Amino acid sequence: MDILQRRIIHALYLENWNYESGARATLLKDAQRVQPSEYELEMKESLFCPMCFTNLNRIPHNKDHTTSSIDAYFRHSSTYKNIPCELRTTRGKGKKYSSVESVSQAIDNDELVIVKSFMQEKPEQILSSTPRIFEEVQIDDINGPETEVPLSSHSGEIFKVPSKITSLRGICHNFDKNYYRYYFLPGNQSAIALTLLLNDVRNIVDVDDKQKLYFVKLQNSIHHGHNPHDDNIRMTYIECSSQVKDFCIKTKHKLQNEHGIGDSSQGRYALVYGKVTESGLGLCFENLGWGELSLLPEKYNYLIEDIYSITHGKEIETA
C-alpha cells in the first residue's frame, strides 16, 4: 500500500512500563488500546507506540483540538527520534531480523506471525455453554510446519521458524491487537504490519491473480437458487471503483452464512484473502477457503476507516 503519512490510530497505555527495560510481551498483552479521543491527563508518560514501543505524546495534551481546529493526535516523543518506526516513514518497507533468535523472540512476544497458509476447511468446533459470534469457534489457527522465510537483514540468508495455518476470523477476533502486528504471508519477501497489508478493494479496477489481503464494505446480498440451500451460490456485492461495473464475493451460501454474511450484513466491513477474477462484466472473489473470509466486528470499524482516510487523501497528522 502506497501512503503519504500514517496516523497513530491508537496508543498502548500501560503504567510502570518503559522502553528501556520493559518486556514487549508484557506491553502487548496487558496494555489498553487508547484512541486520542479517549486520552486522560494521567496517561501522560505511559503511552507507547504500537509498532516501535517508544513513548508517545498526545497533541495537544489537555485539549481536544489544536489551535488550527484539528483533532488531537498522537506523536512520537523526540527522545527516541533515532529509533526507526514504520509509522514515521512515508512507505512501509517491511521488517527484517538479524538472527533466527530475534525472529523466534518476535514470534514468542506476539509481535510477528508466520502464516504458512489460510485454512481451507472449517476447523472442528468447540461450543461454549453460551456461544456468541466470534466465540463459537475456539480454533482460529493451528500450528503449521517449520517454514523457511527470507526475513534476514543479511541478503540471501534464510531462517527456518515455526508457522501458523490461520484464518481471517482469528485476525478479526482481536483486530485492534493485530492491527499493528507483523505478518509474513505466503509469497511475500518480508514481514509487513497488518495495517500496511490491507488493500482497499475500491481501488481495484482489474483482475489480479496474486492472492492479497483486502478489506471490503458489503452492500446487498443475493442467495441464488429456487430453494434455499447451503450449496447454492450467494453473491454479496461490495463497494467498488466507479470504473468497475460491479464487484462481489461469490461463494456457496454456506461459507458466507457461517461468517455472518447475508441479507442483513449491508454496510458491514469484511476481510478477504484471495485473487480478483472476472464475473460477467464485473469482478469477484471466488473459490475462497474457510479461513479466507471474515466479517469484522463493528467495534473495529474505526480502524478500517483510518486506512480509508489515508488511501483517499483525507487530512492526516504526522506521527
In terms of phi and psi (left: phi > 0; alpha: psi -120 to 50; beta: otherwise), the region of 26 is: alpha
Cα–Cα dist 102/221, whole Å: 46
Range 86-123 burial, b when 16+ CB lie within 10 A, else e: bbbeeebeebbbeebebbeebbeeebbbbbbbbbeebb
Given this model, what pLDDT does residue 311 score? 58
The pTM for the full model equals 0.86
Cα–Cα dist 66/68, whole Å: 5
Given this model, what pLDDT does residue 133 score? 52
Given this model, what pLDDT does residue 2 score? 38
For the chain, the domains span 11-88, 100-196, 198-311
CATH class of segment(s) 198-311: mainly beta
Q: What is the pLDDT along the chain (319 residues), one digit of tens a residue?
A: 333 345 799 999 999 999 999 999 999 999 999 999 999 999 999 999 999 999 999 999 888 888 877 889 999 999 999 998 888 765 556 888 989 999 999 999 999 999 999 999 998 765 555 545 555 545 688 999 999 999 888 877 899 999 999 999 999 999 999 999 999 999 899 999 999 899 999 999 999 999 999 999 999 999 987 777 888 999 999 999 999 999 999 999 999 999 999 999 999 999 999 999 999 999 999 999 999 999 999 999 999 987 766 655 544 444 6
Given this model, what pLDDT does residue 126 score? 57
Neighbour count for residue 3 (Cβ, 10 Å): 15
Strands 247-252 and 282-286: parallel
